[in-house]
Amino acid sequence: MLNPIFYQGMSQLRFRLILLCLLPLLLVNVAEAATKACRHPDFPQEVQCGEILRPLNPAQPEGKKISIHYVVLPSQDRNKLPDAVFLLAGGPGQSAINVAGFGQAVLSRLNRRRDLVFVDQRGTGRSAPLHCPELEDASEVMDNQTMHKLAEHCMKNLQALPYGDLQYFSTSIAVQDLEAVRLAQAYGPINLVGASYGTRAGLEYLRQYPKAVRRLVLDGVTPPDMRLPSLDAQTALEGVFAACLKDTLCNQNYPDLAVRWKKLLHKLTPELASTPVSKISYTHPRLGNQITAPFTREALLGLVHKTLYSAASTAGLPYALTQAELGNINPLITLSNAFNLAGPGGIAYGMHFSVWCGEAYARPLAVAAKASVPADDFAVLSTGMYDKVCEKWPRATIPAEFFSVPTSKSPVLLLSGGIDPVTPSRHGAAVSTALGPQARHLAVENAGHGLLMHGCLRDVVYRYLNAKDDAEAVKVDANCLRQIPRPLAWQAPLTTSPEPNKSAAQNSAQPEVKPGVKP
């Protein structure tokens, strides 16, 4: 509390100058009072939970407010450093607080002298969440038509919420919330580690607040002008087919995989198939119950797309596709992790659509760009899904500058997997070039989506963020990183006596598993 007697006889100007000097200290005290000890299921020790009020519409700072929640994992050393590390979650739609355990596992060495901070981006976790239970808790593999209906139903429910103005859930607005958290915690320039969509948020934070960024890590780079998330899946799948063709054992057990894939798609295309396919039976991998539901070409493409994210999962893809051809989609459903998204890493689809519908459709797609986009199966699936949902979904106003990558004065480390179906190495290379000489791109050609847990990269990231100066950070030794071969295709063990002239995949089919395809 300021003592008025102290200011007797002082000029009004001097009084104002002293107040301006003391104001940052007063703000720090307010911020510290808003953070309290709490528990997080991923940590045995107490952590700090914080909450700040932010305007839903930044243009109306005194208008409707939403609460932005965050968790601070305090430095283990009393002599902590001022440059905290913020983890930016993926999705869009993932809660940073819910994946704090993963963040701590990757950044634990940095936590010795630095705070780790996990901010739930608006629309996720505890920060004005935009959940679509209809989509997130689904127990069936859905086609686009069903998903469109559920998304529209969810949109109407979300708009009835007190914070249901969906046009204010964009990346550009969200990073302003992030900056407010930084100021509330009285941190100096911070380190940001963005994964997948979190890389786009990191780039936008760098654009808006370049002086607040000490160093930046981008894992699985999502450029700001990337329109939709599925345009590289076809290349990734063709890579699986090409690798199988070169591998004698894979080609022997799963022959003509690319041709059989096209036949399977043809079989699931009503206007092309001679016998329409209506329903298929499978076992829910998490609940264990038997489900009979429609199975469409779109559903098949969606399951394969999810499987392509992980290099390890692609090893089982030849077997899973062969089984799907026989009417058994259980292996593909299990590999795709399709029904395990409701947990900590789950997506708030209301926030997901708010971001994509605003940013991917903010600018009309030029004629030249339309011509250059390959009309492959996954591209058609993606555009068909988002085009329809985004026809009615409210869209944010996106600044034109959002779509540009700024030249960075701060070091940026970019990580890419060459067989990533959504953010492959070409994205990382292009963004690295745009960022300038302070950027460094590390790519592992046979890795999938997300490299923070790959090999020695945790150690590389630690030494990069812990380097004493920027020159040392940019030149961080990454010689431990080795190129790895593509995982060999998984071979199913024989459960019956092999029959002549049949592949291992056909021989390994369980006799009690009947094809679930019904006419």
User: pLDDT tens for residues 476-501?
Assistant: 999 999 888 999 999 888 655 445 44
Whether residue 27 sits in one domain with residue 39: no
Whether residue 216 sits in one domain with residue 333: no
Give Dmax (Cα) for the chain.
105
Whether residue 214 sits in one domain with residue 65: yes
Whether residue 301 sits in one domain with residue 202: no
Which residue in the block uniquely carries the two structure tokens 């399977």?
264
DSSP 489: P
Distance between start and end Cα atoms, the chain: 79
User: pLDDT tens for residues 185-198?
Assistant: 999 999 999 999 99
Residue 512, pLDDT score:
34
Mean pLDDT on 106-127: 96
DSSP 485: P
H helices present in 310-456, as ranges: 311-314, 317-325, 330-336, 349-359, 367-372, 377-390, 425-435
Rg (CA), the chain: 25
Q: Would you place residue 137 in the very low, low, confident or very high pLDDT band (cuts 50, 70, 90)?
A: confident
In order, the DSSP letters of 53-86 are EEESSTT-TTS-EEEEEEEEE--SSSS--S--EE
H helices present in 108-161, as ranges: 133-136, 144-159
User: pLDDT tens for residues 218-261?
Assistant: 999 999 999 876 679 999 999 999 999 999 999 999 999 999 99
Q: Is residue 344 pLDDT above 70, yes or no?
A: no
Residue 156 lies in a domain: no
Residue 358 lies in a domain: no
Q: How many other C-beta atoms lie within 10 A of the C-beta of residue 299?
A: 24
Residue 311, pLDDT score:
93
Whether residue 298 sits in one domain with residue 334: yes
Mean pLDDT on 369-379: 64
Residue 83 lies in a domain: yes
| CA–CA distance, 104 with 41 (Å, rounded to integer) | 13
Residue 142 lies in a domain: no
Whether residue 306 sits in one domain with residue 223: no
Residue 479 lies in a domain: no
Residue 103, pLDDT score:
92
**Percentage of the chain modeled with pLDDT above 70:** 82
Residue 253 lies in a domain: yes
| CA–CA distance, 178 with 60 (Å, rounded to integer) | 18
Residue 162 lies in a domain: no
Q: Mean pLDDT, the chain, as a whole number?
A: 85
Mean pLDDT on 163-180: 98
Q: Would you place residue 207 in the very low, low, confident or very high pLDDT band (cuts 50, 70, 90)?
A: very high
- Cα–Cα distance list, 440 to 35, 242, 433 (Å): 36, 30, 9
Whether residue 308 sits in one domain with residue 252: yes
The dihedrals phi and psi of 65, each to the nearest 5 degrees, come to -115, 150
Residue 17, pLDDT score:
36
| CA–CA distance, 12 with 15 (Å, rounded to integer) | 5
User: pLDDT tens for residues 391-431?
Assistant: 999 999 999 999 999 899 999 999 999 999 999 999 999 99
User: Are 452 and 461 within 8 A, CB to CB?
Assistant: yes
Whether residue 269 sits in one domain with residue 184: no
| CA–CA distance, 141 with 486 (Å, rounded to integer) | 29
Number of separate domains in the chain: 3
DSSP 127: B
User: Are 277 and 295 within 8 A, CB to CB?
Assistant: yes
Whether residue 457 sits in one domain with residue 416: yes
In this predicted model, which residue has the larger pLDDT, 23 or 465?
465
| CA–CA distance, 395 with 92 (Å, rounded to integer) | 15
Domain with 13, as residue range(s), is: 1-33
The dihedrals phi and psi of 163, each to the nearest 5 degrees, come to -110, 30
Mean pLDDT on 297-319: 93
| CA–CA distance, 178 with 184 (Å, rounded to integer) | 10
The dihedrals phi and psi of 8, each to the nearest 5 degrees, come to -65, 135
Residue 62 lies in a domain: yes
Whether residue 218 sits in one domain with residue 296: no
Burial label, 25 (beta-carbon count in 10 A; 0-12, 13-18, 19+): exposed
Residue 267, pLDDT score:
85
Residue 8, pLDDT score:
32
Q: Would you place residue 31 in the very low, low, confident or very high pLDDT band (cuts 50, 70, 90)?
A: very low
Whether residue 26 sits in one domain with residue 43: no
Assign residue 438 the CATH number of its domain.
3.40.50.1820
Whether residue 333 sits in one domain with residue 434: no
Q: Would you place residue 139 in the very low, low, confident or very high pLDDT band (cuts 50, 70, 90)?
A: low
Range ranked top by mean pLDDT from 34-43, 292-301, 472-481: 472-481
